[in-house]
A and B are shown apart, each in its own frame.
Chain A
Amino acid sequence: MKQVFTCIICPNSCEIEVSEEGITGALCRRGVQYVQQELTDPRRNIATTVAVQGGAEPLVSVRLTAPIPKARIMEAAEAIHALQPEAPVKAGTVLAHDLLGLGADVIATKSVEKRQRISAGYESGLASVWQRYESTPHTQALKTRKAWTSSAAQTSIVCPSRRP
């Protein structure tokens, strides 16, 4: 039986064929290794974002240090999204060791500074603006619009650094 794989290791995207004759079509070794891995235990790396507590920016981007089994991706994404690092976060920092026992760490891929506290007055002012925004008819309408499911309405107005 012949099977065709698209190598995802580099942008060349070689089409690699696996048949009785062996593995053909790979321009380099890494392609052959990829297909062998794909046949036995397909793995992928994932990249996503995590909300930073008290950050100058709401999110820090993260990735895994090693690929994990394909079947565990969604589970891993959820576990990553549950992380709550506090600012400042430096690029390269390990945010979680050995995620779900899969042998890969979660590392930050950018740096996020601490949010500068301008003044207590400013912060409470900001909070009251949010409160007013939340209670406007426009926001209420967003939350209840039928076509727009209620969970979607909430996430569309989520306050920075608060994950849905």
Chain B
Amino acid sequence: MIRVEKLRKVYKVGGEKVVALDNVSVEIEKGEFCCIVGTSGSGKSTLLNMLAGLEKPTKGKVKINGQLVNKMTEKELAVFRQNNIGFIFQSYNLMPTMTAVENVAFPLMFKGVPQKIREKRARKILAEMGLGSRMNHKPREMSGGQQQRVGIARAFVSKPKVIFADEPTGNLDSATTEQVMKMLLDISQKNDITFVMVTHDPELAKMARRVITLKDGRVINDTRDGVSLLEEDEKIAESFEEETAGEQPEKQAEDEQPVQVPGEQEVSNGHSQAISQ
């Protein structure tokens, strides 16, 4: 479902290069519930953002459902997101002026679904999530847990193939966290949705069958039901063929970063590594 080959991301901060992600190759299967864990700054968010096409990698490939996400234009990405991807944010990111129903129905609006139909679907899913009494409440009239459930409903409403979530329980207390986590596992399983979630909490990650552990931008562990997949990942890396034609050169990708000072010095992220340019 999701295939990542030799993914690399370099940020440039004040003339220094930060390698946020290096040589990441994994494959996530359809319907799999996958947690990306690691300490803060290990590159979890960077990986997730690139999987979801929010950021372009410096090098490497991201394929979802056979489509090369990192090569898509903004326009193609928008349509791709409408039809394939749901996203759950750590800070919920609901539209402040809209009610719960309107928020959940929002992604369907972009697809051109008529108001009546999309709000009916939104109501149904909200009711299923136990928010029947909060349908017409604005975000600020709801608790964090309720808001995140609205956020989850919004991600599921268009029945996407993949849902990405960056620390979806990061702002919730432990009791709510467990509730929400169970809910996520449950719905994604029922709907056969591939779910990729970032968390810094290893305990939470244990609830998932698939766990990818990052450290300093590299995959240090990758297990499915406790069985290591590092060898398979190595094979994926080997299968990677660098496209010369049409490949975005590293230089250009790095130029997209805002600050630029000539004569920059390279700082690797924790361990020494050769950076080819």
Q: Do the two shown chains form a genuine complex with each other?
A: no
